[in-house]
Amino acid sequence: MTLSILVTGASRGIGAAIAHDLAGRGHRVGVHAGRDAAAAEAVRATLPGAGHAVVVGDVGDAGACRRIVDETVRELGGIDVLVNNAGIFEAHPVGTTSFEDWQQAWRRTLDVNLLGPANLAWLVARHLLDRPSGPEGGRLVSVGSRGAYRGEPLTPAYGASKAALHSMTQSLAVALAPHGILAAAVAPGFVETDMGRSVLDGPDGDAVRAQSPFNRVATPADVAQAVAWLATEAPLWVSGTVVDANGASYLR
């Protein structure tokens, strides 16, 4: 069965790898970008299969979330699965950040990493519950972070946003199970993308790679496989899970 899947933040990094993995499994993908429509279009153009779409909008804006979902439904003919992947990681260490910048970092991080996924989850859940064919096959998968458990000393709002995202996933898993809808998350450790590039290329790069006994960080494809499995093939019975994808760098 071909599923219609909205992947947020799919213009690069982990999201682009998720889009490729899902398209390779024969599904139709809504390739979403925050701003960079050209990058999203470049990803769409290289996806295997047909019927994929590009959607653009700031997930930190509730009105834009509605437009993103409406446009994806129009372009793909519906949404079976939401992958909440878009996120930001902006430094605001407590010792050196002004109070104004601290507040701004918290607000923006929670808007994009938590309220955006929450709004998109509501919109897609409503779409699944209201569509004539019903919610069968519906899934909500979010990309969280190891930082939710291990702490994020330089980006505390990020760690808090991901802990809340995991918790939201578990609450939605319980609330939506009676409708046959799965909710689950993946919590990656460090991944080779733009987000962690400055750390990985800097003096701490080797120490970060050594956090995993595999002595490397994840490729986007490593994480994408876990997300794509939850989004398509995983049994409904794993609903509510948060899958660690951190190369055994942190065990809980």
- Which residues are known catalytic residues? 158, 162
Closest CA to 30 of 49, 62, 65, 55: 55
Asked if 30 is part of the footprint of ligand NAP (rule: CB under 6 A), the reply reads no
Asked if 247 is part of the footprint of ligand NAP (rule: CB under 6 A), the reply reads no
CA torsion through residues 101, 107, 111, 112, sign = positive
Residue 16: CB minimum distance to ligand NAP, A:
7
Closest CA to 83 of 186, 237, 153: 186
Asked if 31 is part of the footprint of ligand NAP (rule: CB under 6 A), the reply reads no
| Token code pair at residue 138 | 């519906």
For helices 37-46 and 13-24, give the axis angle rounded to 10 degrees. Answer: 30
Which of 3, 6, 14, 183 lies at the binding interface for ligand NAP (CB under 6 A)?
14
Residue 66: CB minimum distance to ligand NAP, A:
14
Asked if 117 is part of the footprint of ligand NAP (rule: CB under 6 A), the reply reads no
Radius of gyration for the chain, computed over Cα atoms and rounded to the nearest angstrom: 17
Asked if 124 is part of the footprint of ligand NAP (rule: CB under 6 A), the reply reads no
| Token code pair at residue 101 | 């910048």
User: Residue 127: how many CA atoms within 13 Å on its side-chain side?
Assistant: 27
Stretch 54-83: interaction string toward ligand NAP, x if CB under 6 A: ----xxx-----------------------
Which of 188, 222, 234, 243 lies at the binding interface for ligand NAP (CB under 6 A)?
188
Residues that bind ligand NAP (CB under 6 A): 8-9, 11-15, 33-36, 58-60, 85-89, 112, 143, 145, 188, 190-191, 193-196
